[in-house]
Copies of this chain bind each other. A is one copy, B any other.
Amino acid sequence: MRSDKRRRLERAGWRVSNTAEFLGLDAQEQRLIDLKLALAAGIRRFREKRGLTQAALAKQLGSSQSRVAKLEAGDRSVSLDLMIRSLISVGATSADIARIIRRAEVHEAA
């Protein structure tokens, strides 16, 4: 998956021959993944707290059970947009969301 990002960058025009810069991107990608995983876990926590099934949440969202399952699994195919939308739909306040994100920072240490 890393080489795929690199190819994308190279196709986009800027040379990515600078390894340090490339690894820097990789680290940022990792932080985004950590964030998504934290949000995914948060969605599940809130959903269960609300006593909702994945299908019920999906209905609220205008989505489907399978997508909610992917959401909570932190699947590569789900966007942050859908994650935040889900958190809002499941009753999380901005403060709740902020808390989840702040908590993800724990994994940021070099």
Q: Which residue of chain B has its CB nearest to the CB of A10? A: B62
Stoichiometry, as copies per complex, reads 2
B84–A95 CB distance below 8 A: no
Using a CB-CB cutoff of 8 Å, which residues 29-62 of chain A contact chain B?
31-32, 35, 59, 62
Give A5 to B102 CA distance when docked, in angstroms.
Answer: 28
A108–B81 CB distance below 8 A: no
Residues from chain B with Cβ under 8 Å of A102 in the complex: 94-95, 98
Give A35 to B88 CA distance when docked, in angstroms.
Answer: 11
Residues from chain B with Cβ under 8 Å of A32 in the complex: 81, 84-85, 88
B84–A81 CB distance below 8 A: no
Which of B35, B59, B62, B85 has a CB less than 8 Å from the CB of A94? B35
Give A12 to B81 CA distance when docked, in angstroms.
Answer: 17
